[in-house]
A and B are shown apart, each in its own frame.
Chain A
Amino acid sequence: MTTTSPPRQKVDRDEVFLEYTKSICPVCKTVIDAEVNVKDNRVFMRKRCKEHGQFEALLYGDAQMYFDSMRFNKPGTMPLETQTEVVDGCPLDCGLCPDHKQHACLGIIEVNTGCNLDCPICFADSGHQPDGFSLTLEQCGTALDAFVRSEGEPEVVMYSGGEPTIHPLILDFIQLALDKGVKTVNLNTNGIKLAHDKKFVRALAAFDRKPNIYMQFDGFNERTHTEIRGRDLRKAKQAALDNCAEAGLTVTLVAAIEQGLNEHEMGDIVKFGIKHPAVRSVAFQPVTHSGRHLEFDPMQRLTNAEIVHGLADQVPEWFRVSDFFPVPCCFPTCRSITYLLIDGDNVVPIPRLLHIEDYLDYVSNRVMPDMDIRHALEKLWSATATPGTEMNQEQLECAVCGIDLPEALKTVTDTAFMIVIQDFQDPYTLNVKQLMKCCVEEVTPDGRLIPFCAYNSVGYREQVREQLSGVAVPTIVPNAEGLQPVLLTTRYGSKTHDGNGNGHVPADATNRGQSLR
């Protein structure tokens, strides 16, 4: 009698292989190959560092939405000049290098590292720190000049930090930007100074082109404040907003959304913003796992998909998932926007009034759309869009006139409310495919324009801080669950790896430059 073993069966993989790209090792920041896979309708990145092993992270929480967004991909526009040469390839040549696919819609200048808060969450790793930097007027001017040479007539500069309102020259910086032809200045702030210094608020409101206040606003629960900001700032936020309204300044509420903490407050933040006279837009940002942050699981992080679904779930009377459209100037999975027409409790998402995809689908829509409407929508669905500015107003009117709506409707566009959702890449999720088309750049005093997510993830932030402060800065590593045994806490509260020495320009360990024979 013979026994036969059953024939061996081939087994299918439990994921769909989607892309092959480049990323970095989250620990040593070495450039490595990465693959993108879809499993259970979610999109993941997996990569392997020879030294530090395999890493996997969630890129996008809704694979169908990820695919659908791909057609909203506008051909990039070349900047007037680039600042670096292509030497080592993306992401080591920032920037911008001639290989970059898009000009800078938004330039961010971080004017200091000092802050009047020490938030447990801060991608800039700022705080009450004695060893940082504070830009001089000349340094700020050098950065602005680089931005102007690259952009011609820049739409928007954002002053950030640190906390830019405590920089003694911030009003001069704003004037300087306007003098150099920047159309709109955004001031990125925690609002504390605006709450307590009405004179300062009035000084901001005295500019011909008033800056828009881009204010951290994470929610209404005390716990939200203490966990994200380390202090209960609810009264200060309210006072800052009221002071802005009184002075005639417009405000964007910027909510960092931390999983399991304030996701459920998103709908309330929108409702609050719509009712407050100063607030013209809300920006939701899943907490960025660059710099300083709470411990997290890279497989369970929040992405744009969770934010969109969360808003539709929390305010079904106003929002549907289909009301949000990807921004085509950057890579379309990075940022989604919608606009609302509002009158009291009557709210109409503008995308329900026209077929946005007929104008912003650059891949499958082969018929030439009305170019005036396309241009207007491109401005609205971009990183430059700032509600309340004249430019934004004109674009809204033009887009609305394209919907064949009567004159009277154009006048209500000055009450249009913007909601932006932006997931920044971190050292786990960095994908050069997205990075190469980034249109939000950190402008540095040495005249470089460095894509925001490269600045925060690849090592440029550490490099620039070191240059400007003269103090050595450790390479920052994400505070991820799986890395806990090898993490050390830096003097700023962020994490580093004990094997990371100085020198922030990482090596390239992709298969480039090697051949089989």
Chain B
Amino acid sequence: MTVSDPTAADVKVCCATAYQNDAVALILGESYHPGGLTLTRQLARHLDLRPDERVLDVASGPGATAFLLASEFGVAVDGVDLGDQTVANATRVADERGLADRVRFHLGDAERIPLPDGAVDVVFCECAFCTFPDKASAAAEMARVLRPGGRVGITDVALDPTRLDAELQSLAGWVACMADARPVAEYVALLDAAGLTVTRTEAHDDALAEMVDQIDARLRAFRIAKVPALEGIDFDTALERVAAAARAVRDGIAGYSLVVAEKR
């Protein structure tokens, strides 16, 4: 999840109806997307990464995925993220880990990726696609920077808006990750329209359930700590909404999907 820079445009859009941005960033944390590094590895295996291939990680955040791919799969990684501080920090860590020759981070927008056409073999995008306001442009950009036959791997929140009740509607506005999430079929259609043929979809709803659980724990921890940034927040209501999210996952209204596609 890349809400580390709360001023980023995508978060602004997603959290239009939410509490102030730094509160949202706090509650979600910058740690990991649902499924953590385990799901990242699984996605990497589905993408059949080969040593020395070039990988783009869209919304690369602190760089955990980039470092994993470089060190475990031997690929070169370009990370793109909207936050300049995030990019600077990730670059510093790449240096510290001696990965600077394989892993680079760039300031950039998913809808205007700062790489030339056909530059990469594989695109990664974890728990970020749903936050892009213009998903068609983002998919087109992924297709543009991929070489012909290149692969895309996406994991993201999948949500069925037609089944959202009022309570969950307000929840969707409140939790950044669910803000503009779509059903899996819509992700498949968006990718296909961009020239990316989907070859695999998998449900990983447990990973989302665990993430919601973590948000619940963070909220309750902040309540104990009486964090100033969250002053005035109605914790009882917030926790009720998180509980509603947990129910939505349990009832199959919200889920977490893995999608693999190939450039035609």
Q: Which A residues fall within an 8 A CB radius of B?
A: 341-343, 346, 348-349, 352-355, 358, 365-368, 403-406, 408-409, 411-412
In the bound complex, what is the Cα–Cα distance between A467 and B23 (angstroms)? 65
Of A346, A404, A408, which contacts B29 at CB under 8 A?
A: A404
In the complex, the chain B residue whose C-beta lies closest to that of A351 is B217
- Cβ-defined contact, B67 with A367, below 8 A: yes
In the complex, the chain A residue whose C-beta lies closest to that of B4 is A404
Of B30, B72, B222, which contacts A366 at CB under 8 A?
A: B72
- Cβ-defined contact, B214 with A409, below 8 A: no
Given contacts A348-B217, A352-B214, A358-B37, contact A367 B224 (CB under 8 A): no
Known pairs A409-B221, A409-B227, A412-B221. 8 more at Cβ < 8 A? Answer: A341-B221, A348-B224, A352-B213, A355-B36, A366-B71, A368-B71, A406-B222, A406-B228
- Cβ-defined contact, B217 with A408, below 8 A: no
Of A348, A365, A367, A406, which contacts B227 at CB under 8 A?
A: A406
In the bound complex, what is the Cα–Cα distance between A406 and B227 (angstroms)? 7
Residues 187 to 244 of chain B near chain A (Cβ within 8 Å): 213-214, 216-218, 220-229
CB distance from A403 to the nearest CB of B (A): 7
- Cβ-defined contact, B36 with A358, below 8 A: yes
- Cβ-defined contact, A411 with B30, below 8 A: no
Chain B residue total in the interface (Cβ 8 A) = 28
- Cβ-defined contact, A405 with B218, below 8 A: yes
In the bound complex, what is the Cα–Cα distance between A349 and B71 (angstroms)? 32
Whether, in the assembled complex, B31 has its beta carbon less than 8 Å from a beta carbon of chain A, the answer is yes
Of A341, A342, A408, which contacts B228 at CB under 8 A?
A: A408
- Cβ-defined contact, B225 with A409, below 8 A: yes
Q: Which residues of A contact B220 (CB under 8 A)?
A: 346, 348
- Cβ-defined contact, B36 with A409, below 8 A: no
- Cβ-defined contact, B217 with A352, below 8 A: yes
Q: Which B residues fall within an 8 A CB radius of A?
A: 26, 29-32, 36-37, 64, 67-68, 71-72, 97, 213-214, 216-218, 220-229
Q: Which residues of B contact A343 (CB under 8 A)?
A: 223-224
Q: Which residues of B contact A403 (CB under 8 A)?
A: 29, 31
In the bound complex, what is the Cα–Cα distance between A96 and B128 (angstroms)? 53
Q: Which residues of B contact A354 (CB under 8 A)?
A: 31
- Cβ-defined contact, A355 with B221, below 8 A: no
CB distance from A346 to the nearest CB of B (A): 5
In the complex, the chain A residue whose C-beta lies closest to that of B222 is A409
Of B71, B72, B214, B227, which contacts A353 at CB under 8 A?
A: B214
Q: Which residues of B contact A346 (CB under 8 A)?
A: 220, 223-224
- Cβ-defined contact, A367 with B31, below 8 A: no
Given contacts A346-B220, A348-B220, A368-B97, contact A404 B30 (CB under 8 A): yes
- Cβ-defined contact, B214 with A408, below 8 A: no
- Cβ-defined contact, B227 with A408, below 8 A: yes
B68, B71, B220, B225 interface centre (most CB from chain A within 10 Å): B225
Q: Which residues of B contact A342 (CB under 8 A)?
A: 224
**Could you list 8 examples of A-B contacts with CB < 8 Å?**
A341-B221, A352-B213, A367-B67, A368-B97, A403-B31, A405-B29, A406-B228, A409-B225
In the complex, the chain B residue whose C-beta lies closest to that of A368 is B97
Of A367, A404, A405, which contacts B37 at CB under 8 A?
A: A367
CB distance from A30 to the nearest CB of B (A): 45
Ordered nearest first, which 7 A-B pairs have the shortest CB separation? Answer: A352-B217, A409-B225, A343-B224, A408-B225, A348-B220, A408-B227, A348-B221
Given contacts A366-B72, A367-B68, contact A406 B26 (CB under 8 A): yes
- Cβ-defined contact, A406 with B225, below 8 A: yes
CB distance from A27 to the nearest CB of B (A): 47
In the bound complex, what is the Cα–Cα distance between A145 and B209 (angstroms)? 52
In the bound complex, what is the Cα–Cα distance between A440 and B56 (angstroms)? 48
In the complex, the chain B residue whose C-beta lies closest to that of A415 is B224
Q: Which residues of A contact B217 (CB under 8 A)?
A: 348-349, 352-353
In the bound complex, what is the Cα–Cα distance between A411 and B221 (angstroms)? 12
Q: Which residues of A contact B71 (CB under 8 A)?
A: 366-368
Q: Which residues of B contact A408 (CB under 8 A)?
A: 225-228
Q: Which residues of B contact A406 (CB under 8 A)?
A: 26, 222, 225, 227-229
Of A366, A367, A412, which contacts B225 at CB under 8 A?
A: A412
Q: Which residues of A contact B97 (CB under 8 A)?
A: 368
CB distance from B61 to the nearest CB of A (A): 12
Q: Which residues of A contact B29 (CB under 8 A)?
A: 403-405
In the bound complex, what is the Cα–Cα distance between A365 and B64 (angstroms)? 13
B30, B36, B216, B224 interface centre (most CB from chain A within 10 Å): B224
In the complex, the chain B residue whose C-beta lies closest to that of A364 is B38
- Cβ-defined contact, B72 with A367, below 8 A: yes
Q: Which residues of A contact B223 (CB under 8 A)?
A: 343, 346
CB distance from A381 to the nearest CB of B (A): 18
In the bound complex, what is the Cα–Cα distance between A355 and B32 (angstroms)? 9
- Cβ-defined contact, B224 with A341, below 8 A: yes
- Cβ-defined contact, B218 with A353, below 8 A: yes
CB distance from A324 to the nearest CB of B (A): 15
In the bound complex, what is the Cα–Cα distance between A408 and B30 (angstroms)? 17
CB distance from B219 to the nearest CB of A (A): 9
In the complex, the chain A residue whose C-beta lies closest to that of B67 is A367
In the bound complex, what is the Cα–Cα distance between A411 and B226 (angstroms)? 10
- Cβ-defined contact, A404 with B228, below 8 A: no
In the bound complex, what is the Cα–Cα distance between A125 and B227 (angstroms)? 51
In the bound complex, what is the Cα–Cα distance between A342 and B225 (angstroms)? 9
Q: Which residues of A contact B31 (CB under 8 A)?
A: 354-355, 403-404
In the bound complex, what is the Cα–Cα distance between A391 and B3 (angstroms)? 33
B64, B67, B72, B217 interface centre (most CB from chain A within 10 Å): B217
In the bound complex, what is the Cα–Cα distance between A353 and B36 (angstroms)? 13
In the complex, the chain A residue whose C-beta lies closest to that of B68 is A367
